[in-house]
Amino acid sequence: MSKLRKTASAHAAAMPLPRLQKRALHGQIVDEIGRRIVSGVLQPGKPLTSESGLCAEMGVSRTVLREAFRVLGDKGLIEARPKAGTLVTHPERWNFLDRDVIAWKLGSGVTADFIADLYELRHLIEPVAAALAACRATPDDLRRLKSAYVDMEAAGDDGRALLEPDLRFHRSIIDATGNPLVASLGHLIEAALEANFQLSVGTPRGQRQSMPRHKAVLDAIANGDANAARIAMRQLIEDSKQDLPRAKLKAPSIAQSAKKRRIQKG
């Protein structure tokens, strides 16, 4: 079993649900309960606290709470059963294509198994996306991609400064496919990149070492060479994956950045 398949973190410690402010109650309830479920504080197969209990604890009406339950149900996190109440579902039922679910997972601390799963997903999506971008990118798409690359160069070995333009670089490729179905998966790629950043920020090789790989992807797309773009992206992903064993595996502490990104994107 590889180092990527070893557990890298523990579940978040249980904390009492805070009494929520009246601003954005619905979203706050969804976020609080969702994070508790995905982090393992609320266990699969176990019932949630009664509606009356949650309403009293969180200071909201049953109407607001039930709407939050509906949203959490749509995300696959809970289900209502006759005589059993509202139960937490098992992880295989969770919708990891949902932006909130993936952010809660990252914010609660991930395992290396999950990181490996994200890399598999990247291999499935990004090389194909790069090839499509090489065939379909518009002048505006190329301008955004080149701008992101320039900003990455300016960041140098400052991993924290590199994160935003790196995300923008990969997102620009996804958008340049012109395929709305592929574009809808962009947040998963962003999640994989954020997780990778948290795990590999301490790599001894620094951050600049990834720039030639990014440049190869950029050049292939700009030249309209789909096959070269596919190969370059595959090599970029694999090179990034190889950096993880060199870095100190640790639980990502990105709950706030993930939440901020969700708020910004609505």
Identify the domain containing residue 30 by its residue range: 10-93
**Can you give the pLDDT at residue 198?**
67
Domain match, 140 and 211 both: yes
Contact by Cβ (8 Å): 145, 137: yes
User: Tell me, what DSSP letter sits at residue 177?
Assistant: T
Distance from C-alpha of 52 to C-alpha of 55, rounded to nearest angstrom: 5
Distance from C-alpha of 70 to C-alpha of 48, rounded to nearest angstrom: 14
242: left (phi over 0), alpha (psi -120 to 50) or beta: alpha
Consecutive H or E run containing 147: helix 139-155
Over residues 238-253, mean pLDDT: 60
Place of tokens 């198994």: 113
pLDDT-derived band at 118 (thresholds 50, 70, 90) equals confident
Over residues 184-189, mean pLDDT: 82
Domain match, 148 and 242 both: yes
Whole-model pTM: value is 0.73
Query: Residue 265 pLDDT more than 70?
Result: no
How many distinct structural domains can be found in the chain? 2
Tell me if 2 is assigned to some domain. no
CATH number of residue 203's parent domain: 1.20.120.530
Tell me if 102 is assigned to some domain. no
Query: Residue 260 pLDDT more than 60?
Result: no
